Amino acid sequence: MKFAKNILCIGAGYVGGPTMAVIAAKCPGCKVTVVDVNEERIRRWNSDDLPIFEPGLLDVVRSVRGRNLFFSNDVVEGIRAADIIFVSVNTPTKTFGHGAGMASDLQYWEKTAHEIVAHADRSKIIVEKSTLPVRTAEAMECILQENKKGIHFEVISNPEFLSEGSAVKDLLEPDRVLIGSRQTESGRKAAQEIAAIFAHWVAADKIITSNLWSAELSKLVANAFLAQRISSINAVSALCEKTDADVAEISFAVGSDTRIGPRFLNASVGFGGSCFKKDILNLVYICRSYDLNEVADYWQAVIEINEYQQERFVRKIIKEMFNTIVGKKIVLLGFAFKANTGDTRESPGIFVAGKLLEERAQLVISDPQALENARKELSGLDGSVEYEPDPYRAAVDAQAIAVITEWDIYRKLDFAKIFASMRKPAFLFDGRNILDHQKLFQIGFNVFPLGKPSLTHFK
């Protein structure tokens, strides 16, 4: 079959895979190829055992795979054949050298730029899909324009705003699609070409165009704003615990103001995920590089509160369990950084588990999707850790349960049955405020929600 356009995506990860599957489903006239250097990942994308868990994703992939969606390790052929190349490689925090622990590690991204120059034999549009520091497109243009073949690459920024666990829905019904380009004739034309892809299913008023730098920076700022809301409510949760105010009531009251809005105001054990921390660290680093230290300090505080909240949660467990947890069996309900994903990157569960193990607790980790990743995250730590997918089995003989992930299944557990199988006094620390605390208390648990009065049977 002859396709109108060949679209390539370099990087078959949490963003590249789902995004391209949806583009293929919505643009049957385009051939969409996703390439990656990771052979195992590509093998799994070509099977029904996809490398990432996302509700609804397998159905979308199955409907288009082999029709106009292809997964391959052949990066070179992918580049040759493509009219449009999305670059969706990982951009983690740098772990070495200058800017370590703060700046973005751009090595994977830069490698793709060199590969594109080496193997492209005609002009192409290059789309930054990865989250990148503002003005990265300038560096990409420099590398790409170095070619001696007389071909032109137009660089576009099209940051991705999907959330894990709802990626398919977010891609099908985005709040907006942002396309940044050079404000030149060729830049605007390339932006229109990218907009035309999304116009297959996204309303015109939701496709926003901007200059390149605004698009790049909007992505970092959007994540910083979202994380800031969580740190704000988490900071308030600490004050609630001192004053007997209820953080959920405050979220509702404050979020009812239409200027503030109700979403992203759930107090938690802390935000996790591969991006919030890395993107804010990157924002802070960029601000400092421009000598904007007050601005950098402001955003850095969002991360500091997140670390404080995780520490506070662990300190509370230890203090309430009579200042010692040595040899006590503690169940972590959930290990994914949020519900509906198996992703554990930067999950607060990693911090909590590490600290509880340092205190020599015996941990049992339960999660419906993330146990494979949990094992990898905790490998190398000293201490006793079991992995048990069944929460009922996990709780047998346990002294305490700590809710780390807001999986829906945990709301529906039979806690009377769980309580009966546990050692007494039994403790429950709800790091997500998803359970019915009054009911748990009546069953016999000593209950410690976040940002709400605790319910204990002790005099």
Q: Which residues bind ligand UGA (CB under 6 A)?
A: 131, 160-164, 223, 226, 230, 264-266, 268, 271-273, 275-276, 337-338
Tokens 């049955």 correspond to what residue? Answer: 417
Tell how many helices (H) and how many strands (E) occur in the chain: 18, 14
441 binds, among ligand UGA, ligand NAD, none (CB under 5 to 8 A by kind): none
CA distance 433 to 453: 12
Q: How far is the CB of 216 from ligand UGA (least distance, A)?
A: 13
Q: Which is nearer to ligand UGA, 300 or 341 (CB)?
A: 341
Of 9, 27, 30, 275, the catalytic one is 275
Residues 94-153 that bind ligand NAD (CB under 6 A): 108, 111-112, 130-131
DSSP track, 288-322? HHTT-HHHHHHHHHHHHHHHHHHHHHHHHHHHHTT
One of 7, 8, 9, 16 touching ligand NAD (CB under 6 A): 16
Q: With CB under 6 A as the contact rule, which of the stretches 10-18, 62-70, 177-185, 203-211 interacts with ligand NAD?
A: 10-18
275 forms part of the interface with ligand NAD (CB under 6 A): yes
CA distance 58 to 151: 38
Query: 3-class DSSP state for residue 374?
Result: helix
12 binds, among ligand UGA, ligand NAD, none (CB under 5 to 8 A by kind): ligand NAD
One of 8, 9, 12, 30 touching ligand NAD (CB under 6 A): 12
Give the ranges where 256-399 is alpha helix by DSSP (H). Answer: 276-289, 293-320, 348-358, 371-378, 391-395
Q: Which is nearer to ligand NAD, 113 or 363 (CB)?
A: 113
One of 14, 86, 299, 429 touching ligand NAD (CB under 6 A): 14
One of 54, 105, 154, 160 touching ligand NAD (CB under 6 A): 160
Q: Which is nearer to ligand NAD, 282 or 399 (CB)?
A: 282
142 is catalytic: no
188 within 8 A of 263, measured Cβ to Cβ: no
Dihedral-angle region of residue 322 (phi above 0 means left; psi in -120 to 50 means alpha; beta otherwise): left
Q: How far is the CB of 160 from ligand UGA (least distance, A)?
A: 6
Q: How far is CA 380 from CA 95, 301, 310, 394, in A?
A: 19, 30, 21, 22
Q: How far is the CB of 46 from ligand NAD (least distance, A)?
A: 14
Q: Which of these, 264, 249, 439, 447, lies nearest to 338 by C-alpha position?
A: 264
248 CB neighbour count, 10 Å cutoff:
18
235 CB neighbour count, 10 Å cutoff:
17
Q: How far is the CB of 29 from ligand NAD (least distance, A)?
A: 25
Q: Which is nearer to ligand NAD, 222 or 301 (CB)?
A: 222
111 binds, among ligand NAD, ligand UGA, none (CB under 5 to 8 A by kind): ligand NAD
Within 8 A by CB and 6+ apart from 415, the residues are 435, 439, 440, 443, 445
Q: How many residues does the chain have?
A: 459
One of 22, 33, 36, 251 touching ligand NAD (CB under 6 A): 36
- Cα 391–chain centre separation: 25
Q: How far is the CB of 234 from ligand UGA (least distance, A)?
A: 7
Q: Which residues bind ligand NAD (CB under 6 A)?
A: 10-16, 35-38, 41, 75, 88-91, 108, 111-112, 130-131, 160, 162, 164, 274-275
Catalytic residues: 275
